[in-house]
Structure 1
């Protein structure tokens, strides 16, 4: 009587399929060609045109474009009554500006990731706190490993546009390009598709809101000037860190002493830009905790159990990503026949593709810095150039590594398969 396993898919063949799926997914993930950093992305590219075909902007309010970075507020009589301009009219519409629960502080940081964000993450980990990070797409491409670390450590990430331009100065199409490229960069780096965003400078009106809602975004501002740390003034040499810290601590005191105001929580505006802005956070956060404020991410303070957008129709929460061992590709899977297990392979391939997207951008650094066996063979000058931020070179190097690793894996897996089945030949 023939063995039942004679009609099943060999385990080693399953492993081969797993690696083929992973390698193909990596190949897709790392070939993204991003627009120039810190500039408004062009709207005539084939990718942006494809995105624009997916949404209907025909009903967008017709408002004059503003000018400046950031724009200056015109006289009130010159502002269109339909504009609902937050920065100049204090009109928030349905933007998120508070946390609904009493004594809750929605902690947010703008403009990262940067080379000092890791220091902030270490501090938040020590404090056992989570925050919302509004990420600039250009920075995500340059620091994908930090964006990924934010997610892995349980923080909430959101969009702060591609180039940090004031959105009321951009056309509807340019707003789409800014948001979608940032969305792509964050998804490439972390595997998550963001659904929250904060407009740079808080620059938003009814036209911008219309476009953002068409893209599915929840807009988050902050709780007015009182809870804007204005830590950016340190960079402008307008204030010292100690002055910023003292002012914000006074804002906390005023909030706690106002029985009406602190029936709702608040959302602050901070930045992970420099060591000085991190210094501010390290001072004011313990002060808030000492005064019994509950510090949370914006998604947490809003009680949003699904703080990210669905990917290919699949909702994604902020729980950790599955490990490779959880995909059902193990020895126990040998009992499934090739026919009956085809659905499992499809599901596994989707999971592998998602995992590859999570790690594709950060894999640039891990591969070329020698954390994989072929990466260790690279000349040290190549690895150094990648550490210095030459991500385009990193992508080219990774493509070369992927080809070599594909050959190596195929050789090893097929060799193991033939050795294990020698008796049947």
Structure 2
């Protein structure tokens, strides 16, 4: 295994990895289309959404600022003008962790939680290279493979997909037994796509922690909101103090893989390596191991689901209102110039319009990797949501499922309300009958991996200039 070293560098691999996201992501449908459907069934895609015929999402048009199609209920009094939340914007000072925690600090908000490890003692040489799928021949991966084999979870014999999304994998896209969420929207019974209670928003942010996550944390603390943060392992080793701040602020921490790949394109061993190393670095920084994960791009099928289940992870995606439309703000694409902040807010307006018509709660895809995504959240989306009438109940995924925060971690989950593998309260009810499970029996326990050690968007060049720790090959 090749080891990494300290350096202050950009994040090019993860940035370019997201460049393929529009091959997969269906944009939010207009509220009128969803309302006419009356339920979460098929809805016509908006401009810049996926083609119903091909399942391929096209990038939103970024030419011109456009105009808002609605009036915001509220904005942050210190909001940056929308015209300045754009690709190439001047970078604001990064915000380091506002609080550092001594090794051995006890998270008193979480019953039976172990004390915090000494994050400063972590040696990057003990982890894989940044933003690359880890090698599969390490002792750690060999141990995790054996634990998966011992878990009793049946892993379906499904071949990996190839890069290129639905058009490059037509046979796989049409195979209902695969139950590929990306292409066609097939979800398993225990996929988490929504909150059970109407007007409840499961607030989530992907891909951090990152240089401007501190801005988001400060705002969430100011307005007394908690969120679920889906953590990329390569970012966790780079920003351990920010990860500890998220956790100690009582936000839910969950897995988002080590290097953010399209999971269905990987071999079984590579999937195990991606999930295992992400779980391990989070455990090494926080002392707890997440029980929830989100596949990058929502790229999951029954093979990936089963491996995640065998590793004690509950698959969590975001709300879909039809085969080609999901609750995706498109905020990630501002930094790359593929969309505008105005279009993101129009997407947001369509999302909350649809959210008020469905008979359950919802989960929205947002990110905290870039300054633009954080700015649009704290200056516009969150203030607008907080002023909405009737009010939304905004909380982490585990809370929106009516579960205690302790269920979010293996070390504190007593299995009474969150047996890993069992159908979770609030899980999606729209599964395809022909492809609805990963072939596992839950046995009511956290099986396997509950252990202590567990493309291309070349136009973007995001330089991280905060003098933080990063890894390179």
With the length of structure 1 as denominator, give the TM-score of the two structures.
0.65
> Is it true that 1:43 corresponds to 2:43 in the alignment?
no
2:353 corresponds to: 253
Q: CA offset at residue 174 of structure 1? A: 0.9
8 Å contact kept, 1:142–1:391: yes
8 Å contact kept, 1:42–1:177: yes
Deviations 1:150-194 (A, max 9, x none): 011110010000000011011111111111100111111112210
Distance 1:273 1:92, change over 3 A: same
Calculate the aligned-residue CA RMSD, in Å: 2.9
> Is it true that 1:143 corresponds to 2:143 in the alignment?
no
With the length of structure 2 as denominator, give the TM-score of the two structures.
0.59
What number of residue pairs does the alignment pair up?
Answer: 299
8 Å contact kept, 2:230–2:294: yes
1:52 corresponds to: 145
2:332 corresponds to: 232
8 Å contact kept, 1:172–1:211: yes
SS in 1 for 2:148: coil
| Structure 2 residue corresponding to 1:281, chosen from 350, 371, 377 | 377
Distance of 1:77 and 1:389 partners within structure 2: 41
Distance of 1:239 and 1:27 partners within structure 2: 37
8 Å contact kept, 2:279–2:290: yes
8 Å contact kept, 1:105–1:296: yes
Q: Give the stretch that moved more between structures: 198-207 or 67-76.
A: 67-76
> Is it true that 1:173 corresponds to 2:269 in the alignment?
yes
| Structure 2 residue corresponding to 1:120, chosen from 207, 216, 234 | 216
Q: CA offset at residue 390 of structure 1? A: 4.3
Distance of 2:172 and 2:251 partners within structure 1: 42
In structure 1, the gaps of 5 or more residues are 1-17, 19-24, 318-353, 358-385, 394-425
Distance of 1:89 and 1:158 partners within structure 2: 26
Within-5 A mapping of 1:55-74:
55-56=148-149, 59-68=154-163, 72=167, 74=169
1:389 corresponds to: 468
1:310 corresponds to: 410
8 Å contact kept, 1:29–1:188: no
Distance of 1:75 and 1:392 partners within structure 2: 37
8 Å contact kept, 1:241–1:279: no
Distance of 1:214 and 1:66 partners within structure 2: 21
Distance 1:90 1:102, change over 3 A: same
Within-5 A mapping of 1:288-303:
288-291=385-388, 292-303=391-402
Distance of 2:223 and 2:212 partners within structure 1: 17
8 Å contact kept, 2:355–2:362: no
> Is it true that 1:208 corresponds to 2:300 in the alignment?
no
Q: CA offset at residue 279 of structure 1? A: 2.0
Q: CA offset at residue 28 of structure 1? A: 12
Q: CA offset at residue 278 of structure 1? A: 1.1
In structure 2, the gaps of 5 or more residues are 1-103, 105-116, 417-451, 454-464
**More helix per residue: 1 or 2?**
1
Q: Which has the larger radius of gyration?
A: 1
Distance 1:237 1:60, change over 3 A: same
Deviations 1:68-96 (A, max 9, x none): 27665633686323100001021111200
Distance of 1:77 and 1:167 partners within structure 2: 14
Distance of 1:42 and 1:139 partners within structure 2: 18
Q: CA offset at residue 269 of structure 1? A: 0.4
* Deviation >6 Å, runs of 4+: none
Q: Give the stretch that moved more between structures: 69-78 or 58-67.
A: 69-78
Distance of 2:308 and 2:372 partners within structure 1: 32
Distance of 2:238 and 2:281 partners within structure 1: 10
8 Å contact kept, 1:111–1:160: yes
Q: CA offset at residue 201 of structure 1? A: 0.4
Question: Which protein has greater RCO, CA pairs closer than 8 Å, 6+ apart?
Answer: 2
Q: CA offset at residue 314 of structure 1? A: 7.6
2:280 corresponds to: 184
Distance of 1:387 and 1:268 partners within structure 2: 29
Q: Give the stretch that moved more between structures: 238-247 or 134-143.
A: 238-247
Deviations 1:43-88 (A, max 9, x none): 1011111221222188311122112276656336863231000010
Q: Give the stretch that moved more between structures: 47-56 or 264-273.
A: 47-56
